[in-house]
Structure 1
Amino acid sequence: MASRLAGKSGAITAGLVGYLFFVEFVSGIIQGYYIPLIPDLARYLAINDPEFNWFEAAQLLLSALVVPILAKLGDMIGHKKVLLISTVVTAGASWWLVAAADFWSFLFAWALQGFYVVWLPLEIALIFDRGRTTGRGPSQTRRAAGLLVVALQAGAIVGALGGGRIFDAFDGNVPLTFAVPAIAVTIAFFVILFGIPESTPVPGRRLDTVGFVLLTLSLMTITSGLAFLRINGPEAIWVYLVILLGLALLYPFGRWVLGHPDPAIDIRVLRRPEMWPVQLVAGLFGISVLGAQAPLATFAGTPVEAGYGLGLGASDISTIVGVYLIGMITGAALFSATARRLSPRVALIVATSLVAVGYLLFLPLHFTPVQVATNMVIAGLGSGALVAALPAAAAAGAPLGQTGIAAGLTNTTKTIGGSFASAIFAIVVVYVGTQSVVATAGTYGGYMTVFAICGGTALIGAVLLVFVPKLAFRDPIIDEVAETIASPGAGSARPDAPTEG
C-alpha cells in the first residue's frame, strides 16, 4: 500500500511540475526575449541608450516590493490564486507593451511586467505543499526546483535567440514582435488555471498591513537610492542619504513585526540557524548573478586596442552568454542528485564555491574567449544550482504556513544584492584604475575589481553556509529512519510491530 501511495503522490507531483515547467519556460522567454531588442527599442521610443536603465531600475524596484507581499498572500489564501493574479498582471503588462509607444507608457508597462518574478517562489511553495504529506517534501522540492530552473534558462535561451530573429521576420515591427511574449504569458495563465491544483492555506492568517507598508517604504527608498546612484554617479551626495534613510526605516519595521502575532516577515524565523545563512547567501548571490551581467558583456565587447577585453561582436557575446546559460541548466539539473549524495547543506556549499572559483579565475585568466567561457561555465554550474536550491532550502527550513514568504524572501534579497552591485559596478568600471585609451571602454582595474567582488562575496557565502546545521533541509522521513537506527529500541513501540509470546 505504501508503495502505491508513493507512486500516486509521485505521479501527482510529476503532473504539477510538468505544468509549472511550461510556466517557468515562459518566464525565461520574458527575461531573454527583449535583451537583443534594446538598441532598437531605444530608437523606437526616441530615447538614448543609457535611458533604458530607467526601465530596468523600475522593474527591479517593483519586484523587490511585490514579492514579499504576494508570497505572504499565497501562504494566506493559496499559492495558485496568487500565481494566477500575478500572471494576469504580467499578461496585461505584456499586452500594454504591444501598444506602448512613448517613454512613460512603456516605463509603467515594463515595470508591471516584473510581476513574473514571484512565479518561481510561488511554484516552489506549491510543490513543497504537495510533497509535505509524503515526508519527502524537501527532496521532491529540490528535484522539482532544478527542473523549473532548467525550464527558466531554456526559455531564456529561446527568448534571446528568438527575439532578434522574430523582429527581423516582422521587418522591425515592434508591436507585432512584442505580441509573441504576450501570447505566451496568456497561454501560461490558462495552463495555471486548468492544470495546477491549489495548495492548502493555513487558516486564521491575516495580512500585516502596517508591517508591509513599513517594509515597502524601506525597500522602495533603498532600491530607489541604488538606482539613482547608478544613474547620477558617485558625486551625488544626496543619493547616499536616500540609501541611509531606507536602511534606517528597517528599524521601525523590525520593532513592529517583533510585536505582531502574524507579522509581515517573522524575524524569529529568520533567526533560525537554517534560515539566516540562506537569506544572506541569496543577497550575496545577487551580486554576481544579477549585478555582473552588464560588466561581463561590456568586458567581452571591449576592443582589444584597449589592451584588455575580447573585442567580440554581439553574436559572439551571445554565444558566451549561451554557454553560461547551459552551465546554469546543468548545475540546476545536477543539484538534486548532488544533494542526495552529499547532503543538501554540502551541496549548497559546493555550488557557492563554484561561483567563487568561476569569478576568481577571471583575475588570472581573461585574455581569450575560451578562458572567459570556461570561467563562466564554472560560475554557471554553481549559479544554476543556487537559483534552484536557495528558495527550495528556504521553503524546507520554514514552518508550516510560511513556505511562500520564505522562498520569496530569497528573491527579494537577491534582487537587493543585484541592485546594489549594479549601482556600484557601474561606478567601479569608470573610476577604479587608469582610464582606457579607448574612450568608451571601462577601466581594466574596474573590471578586475568587479570580478574580485563577485568571487569574494561568493566565497563569504560558502563560509556562511558552514554555520547551517548539518541535518538541515533533509526529508523528515529520512530523519525518522536515522533516529530509529540510532535507537533500535524505539522501533518496538510501533503499533504494527510483532510481539513475542
Structure 2
Amino acid sequence: MIARRTVRARAPLGALAGVVGFLAFVEFTSGVLQGYYTPMLTDIARHLRIHDADVNWLEGSQLMLSALIVPIFAKLGDMVGHKRMLLVSTALTAIASLALPFTDSFAVFLIAWALQGFYVVWLPLEIALIWSRSRSTGAGAAVTAKAAGLLVAALEAGAISGALVGGALVDALPLWLVLLIPGIAVAVCFVVILFGVTESPDPNGGRFDTTGAVLLTFALLAFTGGLSLLRLDAGLTAWALVLVGLALIWPFALWELRHPDPLIDVRMFADASLWPVFLTAGLFGVSVLGAQAPLSTFARTDPSVHGYGLGTAGFATSLIIGFYLIAMIVGALLYPLAARRVTPRATLIGATLLVAAGYLLFLPFHASYGQVVTNMAIAGIGSGALVAALPAAAAAAAPLAQTGVATGLTNAVKTVGGAIASCIFGIALLNGAAEVADSTAGSFAGYVTVWIVCGGTAVLAAGALTLVPRTAFTDRAPDPAATATGTTSSL
C-alpha cells in the first residue's frame, strides 16, 4: 500500500473566478439578511408587543425550517443542479422577506420570518457547485477552501453592511420601511444568479428519496417542536415530542442504509474524517446561531435599571456586531492560508479554541463596551474560519455523489445546534428575569448561561476534531511510481 502525498501547492481560482464573483454577490446578500435585523430585534419585539426572550421564537422557527430544507435542497442540488436549487431557494426567500414589512401580527411575522430561512441553503449549494467544477483539476480541496474563504468574507461584509445600515435606519425611519429593504436586495440577488451563475457540470440525476425526506421531516419537526414547547411548559407533551423525534432517527437511518440513492448517506456519519466535522458544526451552531439574539438584547439592556447590560442604542449595537463580523472576515480569509501552512485539521482546532476563549471571557469581562467588543472579536476570528472551513472540509472528504449533501449537512446540523441553543437560551433568559411587572429584559443568570454554554460547546468541538486524521481535507497526488504503472494508490 503506497501512501499518497498531500498537495500543498497554491491553487489559483483561474477560470472559476467569474463564478466565484457572482456567488460572492449572493453571499453578500445572505450576509445582509443575517446582519440587518440584529440591531433592531428589540424594536421588532416592541412592534410585535412581545417579551425580549420571545425574540428567540423568531430564531427558533427559522432554524427549525432551515434544518428541514437544507438536506432536501442539498440532495436536489446534487440531482438536478445546484444553480437550479439556488434559484428556487432565492425566490422563496424574496417572497418571505417582502411579507415582513406589512404585518404587525406576531403569528404572521413568525411564519414569514421562518420562510425567510431558505437562504441558509445558499452557501452549501455554492460550495458544492465550486467543488464539482474544480475537482478535476487535482487541487479541488485547495481551490474550494480559497473560494469558501472569499464567499464567507463577502457574506460577513454583507452582514456588516446590513448591521450598520439597519442600525442607522431603525433610529431614523418607520420600521415597516426599514424592513422592506432586505426583500428588494434578495430580488436583485435572484436576477444575478439567473444570468451570472452557470450550472454545475454533470448532475447525478436519479429518483428523489421521498420516503427518507418524509421520515426526516417528521423526526425534525417532532424534535424541534418539542424543544419549542419546552420553553412554554416543560411538561410531558414537550418531552414526549423530543423523544419521538429522536426515536424517528432510527427508522430513517435504516431506510437510508437500504436505499440505493439515499437522501443522506448515513454511512458518512461513521467516516473518521466526516463525523467530527458534523459534530463540530452542530456544536458551533450553538454560538454562531443561538447566541445572536441574546448578545443583541444584552447590549440593549439598560444597566441603570437592571444592573447589567450596556444600554446601547440601535446604531451602537450595530457597531458591536460590525466589529464581530470584521473579525469573521479576517478568520475566513486566514483559514486557507493557515490550513496550507499547517493542516486543515489543526486550523479547525485552533478556530474552535478561539470561539471558546471569546465566549468564556464574557464571564469576567462584560461590563464595558470595550470588553464586549474584544470578546466578540476573538470569537469572531474563530467563527469566520469555521464558517468557511466546515463546508469545504466536508466537500473534500465526502463521496463524489454526496458532495452537496455533505456540505448541506454541515449547515443542517449547525442549524439543529442553533435551534437547541435558541430554546435553551430563551428559557434561561426568561427564568429569573427582572421582577418588575412590565419589564421585558432577560435575566443576568440567563446571559451567564449563554456564555458558558457557547464556550463549553466550542471546547468539546476542539476535542472531537483531534480525532480527525492529520492530513484530512487536503488534496492528494498519486505517487509517481503508481502513476507510471497506471494504478491509483490508496491509504
TM-score (normalizing by structure 2): 0.89
Q: C-alpha distance in 1, partners of 2:291/2:35?
A: 16
From 131, 139, 146, the counterpart of 1:136: 139
Please tell me whether the aligned partners of residues 170 and 314 of structure 2 are also in contact (alpha carbons under 8 angstroms). Answer: no
Q: Following the alignment from structure 1 to structure 2, what is the Cα–Cα distance between the partners of residues 493 and 209?
A: 44
Distance in 1 of aligned mates of 2:307 and 2:49: 34
**Residues 491, 218 of structure 1: alpha-carbon distance in 2 compared, 3 angstrom cutoff:** closer
CA distance in 2, matches of 1:56, 1:453: 17
- Cα distance per residue 1:188-245 (max 9 Å; x no partner): 1121111111112444522111011000001111111222223x154x3421221111
CA contact 1:282–1:410 (8 Å) conserved in 2: yes
1-structure distance, mates of 2:185, 2:300: 32
Candidates 70, 80, 83, aligned match of 2:83: 80
Alpha-carbon deviation of 1:331? Answer: 0.5
Residue 313 of structure 1: CA displacement? 4.0
Distance 1:97 1:364 in 2: 39
The residue aligned with 2:271 is: 272
Q: What is the DSSP-based 3-state SS (H/G/I as helix, E as strand, rest coil) of the residue aligned with 2:92?
A: helix
Distance change (3 Å), C-alpha of 1:44 and 1:118: same
Question: 2: CA distance between counterparts of 1:41 and 1:360?
Answer: 29
Aligned-residue offset at 1:334: 0.8
Partner residue, 1:366: 366
Instruction: Determine helix, strand or coil for the equivalent of 1:205.
Output: coil
Cα distance in 2, alignment partners of residues 431 and 44 from structure 1: 23
Match of residue 6 from structure 2:
none
Distance 1:204 1:127, change over 3 A: closer
1:471 paired residue number:
471
* AA at the equivalent of 1:284: L
Q: Residue 420 in 1 paired to residue 412 in 2?
A: no
- Tell me if structure 2 keeps the 8 A contact 1:75–1:201: no
Q: CA 1:50–1:441 in structure 2 vs 1: closer, same or farther (change >3 Å)? A: closer
Whole-angstrom distance in 2 between the partners of 1:412 and 1:240: 22
Secondary structure of the residue aligned to 2:473 is: coil
Aligned to 1:22: 25
- Aligned mates of 1:7, 1:363 — CA distance in 2: 41
* Residues 21, 147 of structure 1: 8 Å contact kept: yes
Equivalence for 1:206: 207
Structure 2 gaps, min length 5: 1-8
Aligned to 1:250: 249
Displacement after TM superposition at 1:21 (Å) = 0.5
SS at match of 2:206: coil
User: Which position in structure 2 is the counterpart of 1:3?
Assistant: none
Does structure 1 residue 58 correspond to structure 2 residue 61?
A: yes
User: Equivalent residue of 1:76, what SS?
Assistant: helix
For residues 237 and 124 of structure 1, what CA distance do their matches in structure 2 show? 42
Find 1:152's aligned residue among 143, 146, 155: 155
Distance in structure 1 (CA, Å) of the matches to 2:178 and 2:314? 20
Per-residue CA shift, 1:418-438, capped at 9, x if unaligned? 111111122234547xx7687
**1:166 and 1:144 mapped to 2: Cα distance?**
32
Matching residue's letter, 2:174 = G
**Equivalent position to 2:120, from 117, 120, 129:** 117
Mapped to 2, the partners of 1:312 and 1:39 lie a distance apart of 11
Instruction: Give the 3 Å change call, closer, same or farther, for CA 494–71 of structure 1 in structure 2.
Output: closer
1:368-422 Cα deviation digits (max 9, x unpaired): 3222221211111000110111111111111112111111111111111111111
State the partner residue of 1:300: 299
Name the larger-Rg structure. 1
Q: Residue 40 of structure 1: CA displacement?
A: 4.6
Of 66, 71, 80, which residue of structure 1 is paired with 2:74? 71
Determine whether 1:390 maps to 2:393: no
- The residue aligned with 2:165 is 162
Tell me what 1:405 maps to: 405
Contact 2:131–2:141 (Cα < 8 Å) also in 1: yes
CA distance in 2 between counterparts of 1:390 and 1:416 reads 15
Find the residue that maps to 2:207 and give its secondary structure: coil
Q: TM-score normalized by structure 1?
A: 0.87
**Partner Cα distance (1:49, 1:429) in 2:** 9
Alignment of 1:282-297 (within 5 A): 282-297=281-296
Cα distance in 2 between the residues matched to 1:168 and 1:429: 26
Aligned in 2, Cα 1:384/1:430: closer, same or farther, shift over 3 Å?
same
Q: Which residue identity lines up with residue 200 of structure 2 in the other structure?
A: S
Q: Contact 2:329–2:384 (CA<8 Å) still a contact in 1?
A: yes
Counterpart of 1:455? Answer: 455
Paired residue type of 1:74: G
C-alpha distance in 1 between matches for 2:319 and 2:155: 18
Relative to structure 2, which stretch is displaced further, 128-137 or 31-40?
A: 31-40
User: Once the two structures are aligned, what percentage of the paired residues are identical?
Assistant: 56
Q: Which amino acid aligns with 1:453?
A: V
Task: Find the aligned partners of 2:393 and 2:64 in 1 and give their Cα distance.
Answer: 25
CA contact (8 A) 1:76 1:201 kept: no
Equivalent in the alignment of 1:89: 92
Q: Which 10-residue stretch deviates more, 317-326 or 66-75?
A: 317-326
Distance (Å, rounded) in 1 between the aligned partners of 2:11 and 2:410: 31
- Structure 1 pair 46–341 and aligned structure 2 pair: CA distance change class (3 A): same
Figure out how many residues of one structure are paired with residues of the other and give that number: 476
Aligned to 1:172: 174
CA distance in 2, matches of 1:404, 1:24: 17
